[in-house]
Chain A
Amino acid sequence: MTQKYENPVVELLFQLADDDYLFSYRGSEWLGLAPHIEEDVAFSSITQDTMGHATVYYRLLEGLGLGVADTLAHMRPATERKNSILVERPNGEGVYMETPRYDWAYAVARSYIYTTAKKIKIDSLKSSSDQSLAEAAVKISMELYYHLLHWKTWFVQLFNSTEDARNRMTKALEKVIADCGDLFSYGDAATEITNASLIESEQVLLNRWTEYVKPVFETIKVAVPTFGKPERNGRNGEHTKELQDAINTMSEVYRTDLTAAW
């Protein structure tokens, strides 16, 4: 690639913002449909926190002159999105406006893997050379602590429960891991991002993640998975069809009048 990334902080912010934005969207589709009411309350709280995190990043981008945060969140087409493939995958069959058949095992496996990866990144961002990014990371990590606790509890409990639950979790985890190729990737902007000391390198974070989740995987008697090479790299704007569908839903009202105040 010959493309130069003159402002690597912008590249990184888009990756972080789009990740949380899509992850939160998938969470909000679950609203009202979680396995029990207590979980609905907890899950929607996490979803809300996560949309808050995305908002922090989009506002930092707005501060850097990239455009209005709402426009960045709603109007960029899939080809300009920098989120990982994992967060754009649907929750299961069907669409949320009808009668979807969502898979709770997939929700737990995806949320656990995504949240642990997010923790490793946020910890590294705390010592970012970019002051506002470092400050955002400190704030986000306070909420992230509870998200981690929550998903770890589900992850371990379902793996170590009935045979049926373990089978479902095993399948769901395989599906999640197959999409993790770009989770720690910074795409084509990797060199610029790490050279600018915005965050540590992909490999350092990946190794740290492996160490971090090891005790949990020992508890469930599963080997810590390794991520393959990505088929598509979301960090470079390569996405599935589901991403554009998600963006269309999220921007349905906003798009009706871009100049209106909502």
Chain B
Amino acid sequence: MKPAERERLDADVLIVGAGPAGLACALRLAQLIHANREAAATAGLSAENIYVLEKAREIGAHQLSGAILDPRALRELLPEFERTAVAGVSDTPVREDAVYFLTEKRAWKFPITPPPLRNHGNYVVSLNRLAKWLAERVEQAGINLFTQFAGAELIWENEGIAGVITEDKGVDKNGRPKANYTPGYELRARVTVLAEGPRGSLTKTLVRRYGLDGLNPQVYGLGIKELWEVPAGRISPGFVAHTMGWPLGTRIYGGGWIYGLQQNRISLGLVVALEYPDPQFDPHEAFQKFKTHPLVRRLLEGGTLVRYGAKTLPYGGWYSMPRPYVDGGLIIGDSASLLNAQRLKGIHTGMKSGMLAAETIFEALCAGDTSAKALSAFQKKIEQSWIRQELWPVRNFHQAFHGGLWSGLLHSALQMLTGGRGLRDPWRTRPGHEAYQRLDGRGSPPPRFKGDGRLTFDRLTDVYHSGTRHEEDQPCHLIVADPNICVTRCTTEYGNPCEYFCPAAVYEMTEERGERRLKINASNCVHCKTCDIMDPYEIITWVPPEGGGGPNYEGM
């Protein structure tokens, strides 16, 4: 596509991603423009000239979390929220906390809930609904929200960015234009905000191009969730439990969650750190096993699966935070590593970062300077805000668990006593895929998990419940730089981990006429980004498919 053929639009601010961070950024900008009309008018700013792009079919469709909301940021953004809108946003206030250590058959309840996992005053929410609720307010404020449009490429300018090119629509699987071919737009903006969530495809290229990585590389967890409807009386709304141990054991970092919702629904899931040694470990299978634990089974039996989803989350914390500003650009939310791994929460910090970004942008636009130097005020604002107060004391938290659960609990206790310093500070990490151990001729691959079809499911059944849909006739959005590696080195060295780590059965090694080949079922993709993170040779690149494709996490 020649640049000349693209239609060009110019915005004041362009936000890529309508999750909680991106939407909070948009809404705060609208509030600032409204409250400072004269300054905004002098700078030529208007809400109509703020664009938000979202790749999903509709707002919220790609939003997945447990989720427990610490309402701190939302309260600052919309002080009336608890008075007027709790019902629209929250499913139920948290009423009871519990933490369990599981073995295969038994569950030990911690006598006291560790303080970071105490959730009094928080709400169990559907992130999907929260995003919709925020988006309504963003639209009412006059901001342009565009669903079914993804940022495909960055427009480079100076030492930074000047906007994005949206994805071309109506291209067939061989890359040729179809009858309804619509080239992507050249969307230029004075400030571009990347709010793509974990492992954003644009954020990744930006961070690499300018070497913005923090002290540590980013490390991730993969969260797999199911929403269930169960017979009445199984769980009370607002009951919140977190588990450690089985089926992950004490060597793999992660754990389960069980949240009681209104109307006999249960949100449950398992988060697994993407830095495990066995390349044929299957996180989806581990989650299915989790449901067979007596503690979980007795809640679910006789119920039905309503929805399924999977999404990565950034565990790295403060030391993995990339430099979040360049000329004309900011990085916010999960893309900026602002999740608190100790409290398992990132919605509030993500929203807060969006609000601080909005304040930075408003000042920069009013001053007519959107250079990296001017936008570096964003980092200062983060450092002066409660985001740092929350993230700095847990800067080594996730790293502490490299030696397993027990030493991790010990280290994290020491960290709590020393303001986060512990015995090693900064505690360095390596990318998660480097944790893989080679197979070294280990025997045949483990048999695949099938599920009983009632309590446990295979991956295809689960993917069906994710509502995932893509235009079938389009180029594959999972780009494998060298598929030869898959059938040669990867098969012998690691046994093709893509077949195991993907929670949506996208990757499949097939044999055709004696020839081994990688088959990519891209239409199954739930946009979790695990493949981009966990392939051992870093040859898989996730790029956004045609806008509107992907899962539908309605009510999740």
A and B: interacting chains: no
Which residues of B pack against A, CB within 8 Å? none
